[in-house]
Structure 1
Amino acid sequence: MIDMIRQPTTKAEQYDWWRRTVSGERVPRVEDEPKPGFYKRRMVRGGPFVPVEIWLEQEIDPETGELTADERLMAVCNGQLCDPVKVWTYARAISAEEYDALTGVRERIPDMAVIDAAMDLGRMAAIRP
């Protein structure tokens, strides 16, 4: 019997699709295969964008560098854990800077905290700081 070494997926491999997409490359997207990265989506049509992050959870032995469990995709949408496959369908790749800006927008603009209703984006532009 051959002892298989379980090497974790590298960060470069994990974020390749997202990095290429954000840089403007048209990369094929598979509907049920979420990719780690930073995204935005709307919870309802006409609603504000909310931040989405997808990442690969890895349990790695600190001594050997090998995986101690299967890798699994995780996601957070608007601060709540969620199913990466479900959120992936509507997610648009954005830069890490845009993601950081979106994560704080609810505190800066109270109307943006209402994520389950459409909003008047023209009125929002008028009140921007």
Structure 2
Amino acid sequence: MPIRQPTSREAQYDFWSRTVAGERVPRTEDEPQPGFYKIRMVRNGPFVAVEIWLEQQVDPDTGELVTDERLRAICNGEPRDPAKLWLYCRAITAEEYDGLTGAHISIPKMAATHVAVDLANMAAIRP
């Protein structure tokens, strides 16, 4: 029986890190990739943060996978199916991700993620 090695962190985040670095990386519609992203919940709505990661259960003694790896996602603070989000995801840096999650807390109009809003004049939106 072959040893089931977990996917390395470098391999997991290859697509995302290359995309954030400005490289045009081919994207496969039905293969979500781990990383930090943003999407809009509705047309012209504010961007919301999305994180996709690979869940791995590893035996601490052998380093072998105990179960199959599974993609997980969180969108705007809620667990979601990464396959349903993937086509709309735009890669962003980890810092942008952190800023975007904070913006939904500190800027009331950005908290309404299912409503179109004009965010061109950010000074007018800040409380």
TM-score over 0.5 (shorter chain) = yes
Give the partner amino acid of 2:62. T
Structure 2, unaligned runs of 5 or more: none
Among residues 79, 91, 94, which one is paired with 2:92 in the alignment? 94
3-state SS of 1:87 partner: helix
Q: What's the counterpart of residue 119 of structure 1? A: 117
Of 38, 41, 44, 1:40 maps to 38
Candidates 107, 110, 125, aligned match of 1:109: 107
Tell me which amino acid in the other structure corresponds to 1:47.
G
Q: How does 1:65-80 map to 2 (within 5 A)?
A: 65-80=63-78
Measure the CA separation in 1 of the matches of 2:40 and 2:87: 11
What TM-score does the superposition give when structure 2 sets the normalisation length?
0.96
SS at match of 2:122: helix
In structure 1, the residue matched to 2:26 is 28
After superposing on structure 2, the runs of 4+ consecutive aligned residues of structure 1 that deviate more than 6 Å are none
Please give the secondary structure, in 1, of the residue aligned with 2:97: helix
The question of whether the paired residues in 1 share the 8 Å contact of 2:109 and 2:125 is answered with no
Q: CA deviation at 1:120?
A: 1.8
Offset of 1:125 from its aligned partner? 4.3
How far 1:13 sits from its partner (Å)? 0.2
Which string of whole-angstrom CA distances, capped at 9 and with x for unpartnered residues, describes residues 6-35 of structure 1?
A: 000000000000000000000000011000
Which string of whole-angstrom CA distances, capped at 9 and with x for unpartnered residues, describes residues 48-102 of structure 1?
A: 0000000000000011100000001000000000010111110000000000101
Percent identical pairs in the alignment equals: 67
TM-score by length of 1: 0.94
The RMSD of aligned alpha carbons is: 1.2
Amino acid in the other structure paired with 1:37: G
